[in-house]
Each structure stands twice: as structure tokens, then as C-alpha cells.
Chains A and B, each alone.
Chain A
Amino acid sequence: MDAAGVAASLRESGGVRVVAGGTKLGWGRPIEAPELSVAELDAIVEHNEGDLTAILQAGVPVATARAAFASAGQMLALDPPDDGATIGGVVATGDSGPLRHRYGAPRDLVLGVQVALPDGSLARAGSKVIKNVAGYDLAKLMTGAFGTLGVVTEVSLRLHPAPREWLTVVVRSDDPRALATAAAELTHRPLEADRLDLRWEDGAGAVLVQLCGPSARERAARIDGEVVEDDDELWAAQRAGQRGPVVLRVSTTQQGLADVLATANEHGALCVARAAHGLAWLRFESADAELIAALRARLGACVLLDAPAELRRAVDPWGPLTAEPLMRRIKARFDPHDILNPGLLLR
């Protein structure tokens, strides 16, 4: 089915579960609806090397796209976990990995979208150039909306030059507060790191700073830590830490991360965090509604990502939404009969 077919099918639909790679179907409220897959939309439509932009259909696996761009010395600076994840799914969920530190989230890299809407239309917003303010930024509206306002069928993206040399400096501590302080200090230095993460596991932790470019070694020498040349495994582990039996994504501030690390330590949870952005992922082997409520009371906004369906029924996986009435007004205009992932985000 092509994009126009996806749009046409929505007009007659009584409700669909939108899927592509199927790697994040366990997020949000559990829902029952026939699947509408965009996995077949898997063409790299354009790779404009000289412009550092690309247009991908929604079903293109991110790993496939990254490999294609790598051959031109370029990269799509999105490295969320799950190699089977598609660009459509990553954009729809707003998922990101350690490269977010320097390059931003999907919202920052998406230049334009094509979406199939419940009224059967196929609409575009944005453009394929890296600078554009014409029209409303529906690309940002669709990014992270979990397919509840439209089905993303195509995405245009900004690419970046791929680094040619890199290394990672690891600063270790077994005191969560001291580690958070070390991360904060590094965050406020003009290091121009590509990745700057925190990790806490089994009573010990580390700050990981990835430096790229010809002067990486020289810059690394100014940080008091261990230099790791072959750092692939370190970063694979950071990405993997964002998945598990029960994973909560915490939105806090840089200063709030100290409390998140301390919480991980107290509960024996694994924590992976983006130090500069105040974003953390807490991974538990198991959890109940009481624990989630206690974590929200202590840490603020926590979204339950990976979790057994019964837990996602027992607690609201999203927690309180700011400006919820406005979100409902938008949902009512775009999807008045609630056919797109019904109940997954707004009930």
C-alpha cells in the first residue's frame, strides 16, 4: 500500500493500531485495534549529499538509513536503541539515543513530514531545506504524537557530517551525588562533545564523554578520566539501558539528575541519562503501581515506556499532561472519531 492508499484506508476505518518496525508496541496504554502497517513504505526517496538532507519513507529502518548515509561520510544523528526501529516509529515516538546530546531529538532533525490524516487526505508540512518557517510546524506536532493525530508516511531530515575520529573519556565514581556534580561540571564546559551521558549500575557509575574531530585527544587530556579508544561497546550499553522489563523515562533538569541517580542506587535500578538535557531512563526488573507513583512524587514527570501490559493498565503510563485540554482540542480537529491508536495517549 502506498502513502495515498494509507490515507484512503483511514477514511473508511473504524480504528487502527499504526505499526512499522513493531519495536515499541509495548509503550502507552494497551489498545486493541486492527493493525495498519507502514513497513512496506521503505524507500530512501532522496539523499541529497551536497545539501546534507534526505527524504525517507516511514518504514525505512534507521539502521539501513544510517548505513546508506555512512557511505557518503554522513550520518543521521539519531541513535535510539532497537536496530529494527524504523524512522517512522522513531519520529512518531520521539525516541532518541546518546547522540541527542549534540544533535538534538527527532523534533530537531525532522525538516518536514507527509502524513495521512483520518479524513483521507495526505498532507505535507515543512520542507526539505534545513531552514524554513513557512506554514505551521506540523512536523513537530506529529513528532512524538505516537501516531494519534496522523500516520507519518514520509519524513525529510537533516543529516550531519560523520565524525572521522573519536574517543570516549570515562569518569567514574561510586557516589551518585559526586557523579552528578562531575557531570554538571563537564556539561558547563565548552567541550563540544558529541555524546555526554551518565550511567549508574550496581552501586557504581560513570560519566561518559565522547569527543570527535582532529583535536579529540587533546581535549580529552583536559578531563581527569580514563580514555577509551574503542568505545562502541560503551555506547551500545548506554542505548541498551533504555530498554528492559520496566523502563521509566524521567524528564528533569540537570540538577534533578542527582536525585535520579540516588533513586537508582536505592532501588538497585539501572540508570542511563543525558547529562546536559536532564533526561534519564530508569530500568527495573519489575515494578508495581505503588513504585511508579512514589517515583513520580519524588522525581516529577516520568513516562512508563517498556512495561508489562497489566502494569500499563494499572497506572497511567503518561502521568499528568500539561495543557491536556488543548491536546484534546487538537485531537478533536485532526482525529474527530478517535480512530488513530485510540486510547493509547488520550482516553
Chain B
Amino acid sequence: MDGGRQLIEALRRICGDANVVTEHHALRTYESDGLLQYAAVPRAAVLPGTGDEVAAVVRACHEAGVPWVARGSGSGLSGGALPIEDGILVVLSRLRRILEVDLANQRVVCEPGVTNIAISAAVGPSHFYPPDPSSQIVCSIGGNEAENSGGAHCFKYGFTTNYVCGLEVVLPDGSVMTLGGKELDLPGYDLCGVFVGSEGTLGVATKITVRVVPTPESVRTLVAFFDSPGHAGHAVSAIVSAGMVPGAIEMMDNLSIGASEQMAGAGWPLDAGAALLVELDGPQSECDARFDEVRALCEQAGSNEVRVARDDAERQVFWKMRKAAFPAMGRVSPHYYVQDSVIPRTALSTVLDRIAELASEYDLQVGNVFHAGDGNLHPLVCYDGHTEGEAERAEELAGQIVLACVEAGGSITGEHGVGVDKKRYMPKMFSEADLDAFQKLRCAFDPDGLANPGKVMPTPRLCGEVPGPYREHPLEKAGLAERF
């Protein structure tokens, strides 16, 4: 690439030699994010130490016409932070300061590299930051912001986009803009809402202001075991129909219970068809009143055993079972492929039957872990990459599962993002006109296509010139525009 050497020199001047990585073996650290199926080694990785340095880096890339990708902790599961060969990887892990804890106004201002859990730690125990991805001890708030991350407690509390109210962002031309603030409903377009979840394709956030809320007074957790996920699904419907909004409702199937048991050792029955983890939180009296109701509804739906967490230690064990489900699957299968589809909750039984059918058709095992309250499925397609053709078969099966979910009225991704992994499914969910509208937004932020190109949109698109200023339409001149 022309000018590549000058760009690297410019990056060294901005961030210092020690913070610009160009050796191939060192760059391999960054070749993938949490989705290991994709790998690419960038021309260089740069680790700016301040927001100003990030802006200078992006400006240098813009001047050189070189694409770049921002990366937080690299725990994403859709290849959103997959580098571009010949591009620059902007690693934000040195920007890890909490800049302000404004508890009186329930706001925290921080840099993007701060971990999700660090925010709750900074405002606890009186307050907490609700979105809680399973990777929360390592994932960064910048990555959460870019992906609009969810988590187990989102059914009640909402997603990252419901908690980010202000951003300082560097646009792909290197300019710095403030979107939103500590205040809500600032006049003009909700640019903060647009930027959150844009997967690093509109720019990069260098400061993030989030809302934090009072910690619930009481938390009650139980796990109910059922013969099948279908039965557990009926319990979920009964709980929701009874007007309850539990803090979390999580389901695991037999295969994932078995895998997690090897890692977390909670002593759950290995022959259970499904485990339903239900957590109620809120005022003590409200929790207590509702908790007995939940237990009764689980029993009515056919649960053969309900275990109540007696103390916080046992509650942590229950959650460890759920949060270990992905890594634990590595113990029962050499490789697995995680999906993130969403379905309307009422379609659960139908879609699960379809997944079982597909699994047997492809002769592969599929474990299922769900955020059952909001219909977000995480099918884990198990395969052995050393057996020829099995990886391809697994990928095809995963694709069929995504399609089944879209056909049921759902979405291709609930919280992991489109990234590179699911962009080919975008046309299954969106029409050409929808994708054109997305492109209008992208072009407004990044007309040169330098920020994380090749992600989200199914096919590369260019931005045309902005059409000229207002011209009176011939029909208006003729008076025809009056007909409304």
C-alpha cells in the first residue's frame, strides 16, 4: 500500500514506539476476537493512551485512506473486531479510566476500555449497572456500546442502549463529536441511540456516559428441572402471563447441563431435560410474594424438582452453571459454533422441534442455552474440526437454525452483533430498501468507508455524493404537490 510506511511512522509519533505493534508474531495476538473461526493479521496494531491520541490515529488513517478497526477486550462473538489485512487495528485497552462517578445524578463517565463489571464495582453496593454480558469480568464498556450488548438480566432491565446516554466519539474523518450527555432528551436527533450498536462502523467512542440505578433490595433465585425444554417453555409463558417480570429467566438443555456440571459442579440432575433458572429481584416484600407464585407455576408446568438458592454462595453456583455453559461445551465437543438468534417467545416449542430435526438431519449435536424471557437462543452446534467436512456441515446447520428463527418472526442476532459472522443472513431479515436506508446512515458518518468496512452489511457498498441542495420539484411548480 502506498504511504503505508509513512502512516506507521505517523502512528509512532502519536502513540510512541512501544504502542505500535508491527511484528507479525506479535500481531497474531489480535488476529481474532472471541469468534475464532475468522482470523486476519492487520498491518499494525496501535494502542493509544488517550482520546486525543485515538482522534489523531483516526485522522492519520483518514489522511492515508487506510481502513481501521477498533477493538476493546476482544471478547466479541461475531467477528466485529476482526482486523482488516493491510488495515490498522486500534486497540482501546489502555483507555481504562473511570473519569467520573456522579452518584448523585446516577451517572458514570468512563473510557471505553473499562470493563463492564468495573462500573458496577465503582457504584456499588448502593447502585449497579444492569447490562451484564456473561463475559462481564473481561469485556469492555466500549465493546458493549459498539455491540449494544445484552446479558441475563436484560428481560427486566433492558440493554446497553437503554443505559448509555452520552458519548464522545471520533468520526472516521478524525473529527470529535459529543452525542447526548448526562441529560436525557437533548434536542435534535438521538445520535447516541444510533451510534450504540453500530458495531464500530460509524466511528469509535472515546468517552461513555452511562446511567446506573439503585441495587434491588432483595434477590431470590431458584432452578426448576423439567423433562424437556418444551415443558420449561410452558413455565416461562405461565410466569410472564401472570404479570411478572423476573430479573432473569434462563434455560439450559440436557447437553448444556451435562457440560456445565463438569465445570461448575452444582450437583444438578444429569438426566434433567431442561433446567430453568429464575431470578426475582426488587423490594423484599414484592420478591417474597412473587417467589412462591413462580415456584407454584413451575410445578404446575410439570417441574419434578425445584431448588431454591439458600444464600448468595448457592446463587453464585447456580449462575456459574449458566455462565459456564459456553466454555464448558468445549469439554464435550472439540469445537462448537455459537448462534445468537431470537424468536418470539411463543414460538419456542416449534423452533426447538425444528432445531432437533435439523440436528438429526445433519447428524450433529446441538446444545441449547437461552435467555428464555426474551426469546434469545444460543444454540451451540457441536462438531469436530478434525473430521473432514464437519466444520462446513456445522456452519450450514447453524445457518439453517438462523433461518428457522427468522421465519418464526425473529432476528438473526439478539446481542452478539452481525459482525462478519452473520452479515450473509442480513438479506433474510432485511429487504434491499431496508439495506439502502442503513447505507444512508453509514454514509452520513463514514462516506469513505474506512471504519470497520466489511462488517454488518452483506455486500460492500460505496457512498455516492450527497445530492445537491433543494430544488423546486417540477410538480411543485405545476401546483401538483398541493394534492395532499
Cβ contacts under 8 Å, A115 to chain B: 437
Residues of chain B from 417 to 439 with CB closer than 8 A to chain A in the complex: 417-418, 422, 426, 429-431, 433-434, 436-438
- Bound CA–CA A327/B191 (angstroms): 8
The answer, among B185, B445, B481, for a CB contact under 8 Å with A14, is: B481
- Bound CA–CA A190/B181 (angstroms): 24
Cβ contacts under 8 Å, A263 to chain B: none
A320 CB, min distance to chain B CBs, angstroms: 8
**Size range of the interface on B?**
35 or more
The answer, among A108, A133, A253, A279, for a CB contact under 8 Å with B414, is: A133
Residue of A nearest to B166 (CB): A322
B197 CB, min distance to chain A CBs, angstroms: 5
Does B178 touch A at the CB level, under 8 Å? yes
The answer, among B188, B410, B437, B444, for a CB contact under 8 Å with A321, is: B188
Cβ contacts under 8 Å, B42 to chain A: none
Contacts A134-B429, A161-B245 given; indicate if A326 touches B190 (C-beta within 8 A): no
Fill in one digit per residue for B215-252: 1 if any A CB lies within 8 Å of its CB, else 0: 11100000000000000000001001101110000000
Taking a contact as CB atoms under 8 Å apart, the answer to whether B445 and A326 are in contact is: yes
Fill in one digit per residue for B179-208: 1 if any A CB lies within 8 Å of its CB, else 0: 111111111111101101110000000000
Most chain B beta carbons < 10 A, residue from A121, A319, A338:
A121
Does A276 touch B at the CB level, under 8 Å? yes
Residue of A nearest to B193 (CB): A140
Cβ contacts under 8 Å, A184 to chain B: 104
Does A249 touch B at the CB level, under 8 Å? yes
The stretch among B82-90, B254-262, B468-476 that forms the contact with chain A is B468-476
The answer, among A35, A189, A329, for a CB contact under 8 Å with B445, is: A329
Taking a contact as CB atoms under 8 Å apart, the answer to whether B371 and A322 are in contact is: no
Residues of chain B from 47 to 94 with CB closer than 8 A to chain A in the complex: none
Taking a contact as CB atoms under 8 Å apart, the answer to whether B417 and A51 are in contact is: no
Contacts A124-B434, A140-B194 given; indicate if A278 touches B470 (C-beta within 8 A): no
Taking a contact as CB atoms under 8 Å apart, the answer to whether B472 and A143 are in contact is: no
Residue of B nearest to A277 (CB): B184
Does B441 touch A at the CB level, under 8 Å? yes
Fill in one digit per residue for A314-347: 1 if any B CB lies within 8 Å of its CB, else 0: 0000110111111101101110111000100100
Taking a contact as CB atoms under 8 Å apart, the answer to whether A138 and B441 are in contact is: yes
- Bound CA–CA A161/B441 (angstroms): 35
The answer, among B185, B188, B415, B442, for a CB contact under 8 Å with A327, is: B188
Residue of A nearest to B104 (CB): A255
- Bound CA–CA A50/B409 (angstroms): 14
- Bound CA–CA A137/B243 (angstroms): 29
- Bound CA–CA A327/B343 (angstroms): 34
Fill in one digit per residue for A102-127: 1 if any B CB lies within 8 Å of its CB, else 0: 00110110000001010001111101
Cβ contacts under 8 Å, A149 to chain B: 189
B146 CB, min distance to chain A CBs, angstroms: 10
Contacts A190-B216, A190-B217 given; indicate if A135 touches B438 (C-beta within 8 A): yes
Contacts A12-B481, A255-B105, A336-B467 given; indicate if A50 touches B180 (C-beta within 8 A): no
Does B289 touch A at the CB level, under 8 Å? yes
B350 CB, min distance to chain A CBs, angstroms: 12
Does A286 touch B at the CB level, under 8 Å? no
- Bound CA–CA A131/B177 (angstroms): 28
B232 CB, min distance to chain A CBs, angstroms: 15
The stretch among A57-65, A82-90, A210-218 that forms the contact with chain B is A210-218
Taking a contact as CB atoms under 8 Å apart, the answer to whether B438 and A332 are in contact is: no
Fill in one digit per residue for A212-251: 1 if any B CB lies within 8 Å of its CB, else 0: 0111001100000000000000000000000000000101
Does B269 touch A at the CB level, under 8 Å? no
The answer, among B107, B180, B243, B344, for a CB contact under 8 Å with A322, is: B180
Taking a contact as CB atoms under 8 Å apart, the answer to whether A144 and B189 are in contact is: yes
The stretch among B24-32, B108-116, B154-162 that forms the contact with chain A is B154-162
Cβ contacts under 8 Å, B345 to chain A: 50-51
Taking a contact as CB atoms under 8 Å apart, the answer to whether A252 and B183 are in contact is: yes
Does A199 touch B at the CB level, under 8 Å? no
Does B126 touch A at the CB level, under 8 Å? yes
Does A145 touch B at the CB level, under 8 Å? yes
B479 CB, min distance to chain A CBs, angstroms: 10
Cβ contacts under 8 Å, A192 to chain B: 216, 282-283, 286
Taking a contact as CB atoms under 8 Å apart, the answer to whether A129 and B197 are in contact is: no
Contacts A50-B241, A138-B441, A330-B441 given; indicate if A145 touches B189 (C-beta within 8 A): yes
Does B16 touch A at the CB level, under 8 Å? no
Does A94 touch B at the CB level, under 8 Å? yes
Cβ contacts under 8 Å, B477 to chain A: 14
Taking a contact as CB atoms under 8 Å apart, the answer to whether A132 and B183 are in contact is: no
Contacts A108-B158, A133-B415, A133-B417 given; indicate if A190 touches B215 (C-beta within 8 A): yes
Cβ contacts under 8 Å, B426 to chain A: 134-135
Taking a contact as CB atoms under 8 Å apart, the answer to whether B184 and A105 are in contact is: yes
- Bound CA–CA A250/B178 (angstroms): 19
Does B374 touch A at the CB level, under 8 Å? yes
- Bound CA–CA A83/B318 (angstroms): 47
Cβ contacts under 8 Å, B410 to chain A: 127, 129, 132
Does B106 touch A at the CB level, under 8 Å? yes
B203 CB, min distance to chain A CBs, angstroms: 10
B65 CB, min distance to chain A CBs, angstroms: 20
Residue of B nearest to A124 (CB): B434
Fill in one digit per residue for A172-196: 1 if any B CB lies within 8 Å of its CB, else 0: 0000000000001001111110000
- Bound CA–CA A324/B178 (angstroms): 10
- Bound CA–CA A329/B466 (angstroms): 9
The answer, among B158, B190, B409, B441, for a CB contact under 8 Å with A104, is: B158
Residues of chain A from 36 to 69 with CB closer than 8 A to chain B in the complex: 36-37, 48, 50-53
- Bound CA–CA A255/B107 (angstroms): 12
Taking a contact as CB atoms under 8 Å apart, the answer to whether A12 and B433 are in contact is: no
Does B364 touch A at the CB level, under 8 Å? no
Cβ contacts under 8 Å, A255 to chain B: 104-105
Fill in one digit per residue for A1-40: 1 if any B CB lies within 8 Å of its CB, else 0: 0000000010011111000000000000000001111000
Taking a contact as CB atoms under 8 Å apart, the answer to whether B183 and A278 are in contact is: yes
The answer, among A12, A105, A326, for a CB contact under 8 Å with B177, is: A326
Taking a contact as CB atoms under 8 Å apart, the answer to whether A249 and B472 are in contact is: no
Taking a contact as CB atoms under 8 Å apart, the answer to whether A215 and B105 are in contact is: no
Contacts A327-B189, A333-B440, A333-B441 given; indicate if A51 touches B481 (C-beta within 8 A): no
Taking a contact as CB atoms under 8 Å apart, the answer to whether B187 and A128 are in contact is: no
B128 CB, min distance to chain A CBs, angstroms: 10
Residue of A nearest to B437 (CB): A123
The answer, among B107, B216, B344, for a CB contact under 8 Å with A129, is: B344
26 residue pairs bridging A and B, Cβ less than 8 Å apart: A9-B484, A13-B484, A15-B481, A36-B484, A51-B345, A53-B344, A122-B433, A124-B431, A128-B344, A129-B343, A129-B374, A132-B414, A133-B418, A134-B412, A135-B429, A188-B126, A190-B216, A215-B289, A218-B285, A219-B286, A252-B183, A303-B187, A318-B187, A322-B178, A322-B188, A326-B191
Q: Which 7 A-B pairs have the closest CB atoms?
A: A14-B476, A140-B193, A161-B243, A215-B285, A123-B437, A336-B467, A50-B346
B residues whose Cβ falls under 8 Å from a Cβ of A: 102, 104-107, 126-127, 147-148, 150, 154-155, 158-159, 161-162, 171, 177-191, 193-194, 196-198, 214-217, 237, 240-241, 243-245, 282-283, 285-286, 289-290, 342-346, 371, 374-376, 409-418, 422, 426, 429-431, 433-434, 436-438, 440-445, 456, 466-473, 475-477, 480-484
